[in-house]
Structure 1
Amino acid sequence: MNTRTFFVCPAPPCPNGKLHLGHIGGVYLLTDLFVRFQRMRGHRAYHVTGADEHGTYMVVKARKLGRPIDEVAQLHIDEIMDCLRAMHIEPDVFIRTTDATHKQNSLKIFRELEAAGYIDVRDGHQLYCENCDEFVADSLAVGLCPACDASTDSNLCENCGLAQQHSKLRAPVHTSCGKPLSLRPIEQAVFDIPRMAAMLDDAIKGSEWDQTIQRKARAWLRDELRPLPMSRIFDRGVTLEAPAKIAGQTLMTWFEGLWCFETGIRLQCARDEVNYDTVMRDPDTRLLFFMGQDNRFYYTIGVTGSLLARGYPLPANHSIQDFYKLEGEKFSTSRDHALWADEVSRQVDPSVLRYALARIAKPFGTNNNDFQIGELIRSASHILAWESALRRDSLHSANVDGSGLTPAHDDIVQRYITAMDQVRFWNALDLIDEYFVATGFGTSPETWRPVHVSVFLSMLHPVMPVLAERYGNVFFGENWTPALGANATLLATPPRATAEFPPFGMPIADSFIRQYQSRFQRAVDAA
């Protein structure tokens, strides 16, 4: 097996608040699972993300608080990192889009696209507030989507995924003053996607992307193809000095903000003392993006197009999740319908939360990602059942079954590997259950099966690393490392110790359940 390099890049959060469990579960946890899995397989895997500080959400939040934008950004970046750490998630590279290095890299990408003939300056329109005497963009303007009639900002409809055009947004108003907006003609840079449409369509068609994701991207190329605006009149962001016609405009954050992945990969390559172009064009390098449904269009069309146009390979895959719900309703900060990762992890063990959130992941488009207290309770109980079986077996080590995996067991492991490689986490978690049943843990407490135990803990490791390492170290010593391959067959010794620490899957506290029910006004059966 060749050693591969994986750059795994979740969409950069906007630092206008903390991360709730919907953010964690749909994007950053799944990134962490994939990175840990690939490292366990012996590959180089890097978690690369950042903070999108140039988005209009930052302007809205700062105006609301009456504080400087950069001060608000720093506050929330600290909170975001606290939320990630609370869930045992540690990015390898975290890029702030306000950093000079990122701004320079974004301009470099823009110039490369321009040199390749994919940037034009064309006539366009931008929304303008006569009352406030300013051009507005993105979340500073809201209206009705011309495609689905849902409320949307002026950039992207979260309901149907349509990339908005200012000239077609219906009934637009300014979020700052609530007044209707007018249209003013401007010149702006555009990404000439039509020029590369055939190449992009062929690449997507031949990719390993999920079929639903492929269909949506190719449908846009077929039915809605148009150049994508890349610049606007807005005083925050990466400022363009050329072409002269648009000097002073800033790059759209849907390009510049997402390009933090490239800034981060370049930084990691510099750390490793390897050449960026060489690594990115290596057939053993894989680039993957993880995101919620609202980021799908600009990653699959805009970011992918900006890679192909400069001669880089297509992203190997995209992990896209529908918006996570909380008891049937979309997570909402404005309605206080949210659970914050740093707060909940102090009341529920992060290993249990990680497993429960991972179980919610579904194929994109099923729209069935619902966090429920009943499922959290069942997740804790499920984990406790695993732990109880492992503990029973470890108490009686008179008989040691030192055999390796049977073909049937190995088949489950190989299907697990395939599912994880293809970012089908729901299938991988089902295969962990299948493996547990097939090995008969807890049914023969007089026999210790070290290989079976080690492989089971290894399958758990990406989703619950702290739990897996704790049991692995107790049973096999501090040098235990998760492995799904042949080296696990060397572990033909009795357990070194029994697990004397409290189980991770302890029942969810009644106080948390009552608080949860009261806050979200749900009659949930906690039994």
Structure 2
Amino acid sequence: MNAGRPARPRSFLVTATPPTTNGDLHLGHLAGPYLAADVFSRAQRMLGHTVLYVCGGDDHQTYVVTTAERLGTTPEALAARCTHDIRETLRAARVSVDTFTGPDEPYRARVRGFFRDLYRAGRLVRRTWTFPYDPRTGRHLLEGFATGYCPECLAETCGAICETCGHPNEPGTLLHTAPTGGRPAPAAVTSRDVTVLVLPLEDHRARIEAFYARRRSTMRPHVLRFVDEMLARPLPDFPVSYPADWGIPVPVDGFPGQVLNVWAEMLPGLMHMAATARAGHDPEGTVPDVWARDSGHELVQFLGYDNTFHFALAHLGLTLAHGGLAEPAAIVTNEFLHLDGAKFSTSRGHLVWARDVLARHGADAVRFHLALTHPEHQPANYTEAEFLTTVEARLHRPLAALHAAADHAGDRPAPPDTATTEVLGRYRDRMLHAYSMETFSLRQAAETTAHLLALLAARAAADPDAARYGLRAVAVWAAPLLPDLAGELRHRYGAPEQDTGRLQEVLTAW
């Protein structure tokens, strides 16, 4: 691999799925798209590329309503409090987003305009859907208001999407549908036919197939398997509106008592977040819309696997229907992180709050362990005991040995020998591979760093100069993963903040 500075600087637009503002981030949330997108963004900046990393609160989920009812507050108050808490937790984890916004009036205006334009262009159509209906509450049972069993994999799930297999369900297709939330269940659930606004995904089949034929190398295997499953049958209509009173009202006539589907809202919502971030860097407005198809930005989206349908098919369909938006260059998914062998669950109290672990152990220790155990391709498990053991054995202990040895090397160690240069060159190349969009892997970045620390620590007493050079290399190449440690090492050993030049030149300059 060429270790020199990239010949062509690239521009990346990075998104992480907006978290639902019905609670703070637990450790399972942090282990997912937010940490991965942060490491990717930091790495691209280190390599000389331009990056906008955007996210924001997902206030209009029905889960905000059901949680507010359970807590005896309003959805508005809950969303505002949780947006503040999430921002603080991301800050404590050193997750540096360029913007983290909520749905203010400019946001709502952009969302309304996006769907009004699609409707006027004939891209959205009317369909009659059958919704389960709770006559006691007057609520249509959809999204978080409904519970039942997935018609695809038979797992227990809520409405819209099955978290287990990722397949969508129409409100009427859940098996054994019942109400959820903070109110008693009625004696019986009836049904109502409602005319809603939909995007017919099947109309875009040919272009969706062509897109995935072009982009197979930058999609996670589980995404491709899911898309292949969906394309093996007629694609469903994607609901753009549904009957509810929490969210953004439908901006066209003929849909009274309906709001925009929050998962449809999310695409223009992220576009607004990106525009807000761009304006923060370019207040004069000299740079065009970064989400535009010809903007030159590569769109890289990080999300949990359970959101795959919405990003890989629904949002792609909306993008194709619009015609002027950037298509994803990569969709980077993660599976679930479990706690003591079971899913994190706010409702059951089966969770560990991310801010609590960060306060006790610091950002780098948490980032290191979550990267080592990152659920890239299959579920992973977290236990407190394993966290403490792993961080001590694979980070703190080798670092202590290396610091002790490096102190004996003095301020001007001898130039690195061939063996040291080769080892650190291989470390650099493997970290560059882990940070690349095409082969991005949090696990590989963390494992490679842990292996280097172990190798250097085993030889530290015999070769203190190599220990010092190794710590300087970690300060450069592990900085996206361990930003606090990298800053400490730069201060202690004089390593440069960034360097993508040839390793031999870096080492001799030190």
TM-score (norm 1): 0.86
Mapped to 1, the partners of 2:489 and 2:224 lie a distance apart of 41
Counterpart amino acid of 1:384? H
Mapped to 1, the partners of 2:391 and 2:454 lie a distance apart of 17
Counterpart amino acid of 2:42? R
Report the counterpart of residue 442 of structure 2 in structure 1.
425
1:440-485 Cα deviation digits (max 9, x unpaired): 76254442576544322222211110011111112117xx303343
Report the counterpart of residue 271 of structure 2 in structure 1.
262
Mapped to 2, the partners of 1:305 and 1:11 lie a distance apart of 17
Report the counterpart of residue 483 of structure 1 in structure 2.
499
Mapped to 1, the partners of 2:399 and 2:470 lie a distance apart of 14
Mapped to 2, the partners of 1:188 and 1:220 lie a distance apart of 22
Counterpart amino acid of 2:185? G
Distance 1:376 1:258, change over 3 A: farther
Query: Which structure has more RCO (C-alpha within 8 Å, separation ≥ 6)?
Result: 2
Mapped to 2, the partners of 1:235 and 1:257 lie a distance apart of 17
Counterpart amino acid of 2:172? S
Mapped to 1, the partners of 2:17 and 2:34 lie a distance apart of 9
Conservation of the 8 A alpha-carbon contact between 1:402 and 1:449: no
1:217-240 Cα deviation digits (max 9, x unpaired): 132122251211110111121112
* 1:388-399 equivalence runs, <5 A: 388-391=400-403, 392-397=405-410, 399=413
Counterpart amino acid of 2:475? L
* 1:18-29 equivalence runs, <5 A: 18-29=24-35
Distance 1:259 1:193, change over 3 A: same
Whether 1:5 aligns to 2:20 is no
Deviation of 1:104 after TM superposition, in Å, equals: 1.4
Pick aligned residue for 1:137 from 118, 135, 142: 142
Distance 1:7 1:307, change over 3 A: same
* 1:415-494 equivalence runs, <5 A: 415-421=430-436, 422-436=439-453, 442-447=460-465, 452-476=470-494, 480-486=496-502, 489-490=505-506, 492=508
Mapped to 1, the partners of 2:298 and 2:483 lie a distance apart of 23
Conservation of the 8 A alpha-carbon contact between 2:9 and 2:49: yes
Distance 1:456 1:418, change over 3 A: same
Mapped to 2, the partners of 1:493 and 1:43 lie a distance apart of 24
Conservation of the 8 A alpha-carbon contact between 1:454 and 1:482: no
Conservation of the 8 A alpha-carbon contact between 2:92 and 2:355: yes
Mapped to 1, the partners of 2:167 and 2:333 lie a distance apart of 16
SS at match of 1:466: helix
Report the counterpart of residue 499 of structure 1 in structure 2.
none
Conservation of the 8 A alpha-carbon contact between 1:321 and 1:363: yes
Counterpart amino acid of 1:417? L
Conservation of the 8 A alpha-carbon contact between 1:266 and 1:276: no
Conservation of the 8 A alpha-carbon contact between 1:450 and 1:491: no
Deviation of 1:371 after TM superposition, in Å, equals: 4.3
Deviation of 1:77 after TM superposition, in Å, equals: 1.4
Report the counterpart of residue 106 of structure 2 in structure 1.
101
* 1:54-73 equivalence runs, <5 A: 54-73=60-79
Deviation of 1:438 after TM superposition, in Å, equals: 6.5
Whether 1:35 aligns to 2:41 is yes
- Which range moves more in the overlay, 255-264 or 390-399? 390-399
Distance 1:408 1:112, change over 3 A: farther
Report the counterpart of residue 293 of structure 1 in structure 2.
305
Pick aligned residue for 2:399 from 372, 382, 387: 387
Whether 1:121 aligns to 2:126 is yes
- Which range moves more in the overlay, 368-377 or 397-406? 397-406
SS at match of 2:361: coil
Counterpart amino acid of 1:461? A
Mapped to 1, the partners of 2:329 and 2:383 lie a distance apart of 29
Deviation of 1:277 after TM superposition, in Å, equals: 4.0
SS at match of 2:271: helix
Mapped to 2, the partners of 1:196 and 1:82 lie a distance apart of 41
Whether 1:373 aligns to 2:385 is yes
* 1:51-450 equivalence runs, <5 A: 51-97=57-103, 99-175=104-180, 176-179=183-186, 180-207=188-215, 208-242=218-252, 244-271=253-280, 272=282, 273-277=285-289, 280-282=292-294, 284-311=296-323, 312-364=325-377, 366-371=378-383, 373-391=385-403, 392-397=405-410, 399-401=413-415, 406=421, 409-421=424-436, 422-436=439-453, 442-447=460-465
SS at match of 2:232: helix
Report the counterpart of residue 3 of structure 2 in structure 1.
none
SS at match of 2:55: strand
Mapped to 1, the partners of 2:294 and 2:488 lie a distance apart of 37
Distance 1:38 1:369, change over 3 A: farther
Distance 1:493 1:210, change over 3 A: closer
Whether 1:48 aligns to 2:33 is no
Mapped to 2, the partners of 1:429 and 1:276 lie a distance apart of 36
Conservation of the 8 A alpha-carbon contact between 1:413 and 1:484: no
- Which range moves more in the overlay, 175-184 or 19-28? 175-184
Distance 1:486 1:284, change over 3 A: farther
Count of residues paired in the alignment: 489
1:86-114 Cα deviation digits (max 9, x unpaired): 212232111212x1111111123213433
- Which range moves more in the overlay, 380-389 or 222-231? 380-389
Conservation of the 8 A alpha-carbon contact between 1:455 and 1:483: no
Counterpart amino acid of 1:485? G
Counterpart amino acid of 2:32? G
Conservation of the 8 A alpha-carbon contact between 2:338 and 2:381: yes
Deviation of 1:279 after TM superposition, in Å, equals: 6.2
- Which range moves more in the overlay, 467-476 or 305-314? 305-314
- Which range moves more in the overlay, 171-180 or 224-233? 171-180
Mapped to 1, the partners of 2:294 and 2:430 lie a distance apart of 27
Distance 1:259 1:444, change over 3 A: farther
- Which range moves more in the overlay, 440-449 or 32-41? 440-449
TM-score (norm 2): 0.89
Mapped to 1, the partners of 2:390 and 2:45 lie a distance apart of 29
Conservation of the 8 A alpha-carbon contact between 1:450 and 1:492: no
**RMSD over aligned Cα, in angstroms?**
2.5
SS at match of 1:344: helix
Identity %: 25
Counterpart amino acid of 1:240? V
SS at match of 1:335: coil
Mapped to 2, the partners of 1:381 and 1:413 lie a distance apart of 23
1:337-371 Cα deviation digits (max 9, x unpaired): 2111111222222211110011111333x223444
Counterpart amino acid of 1:429? A
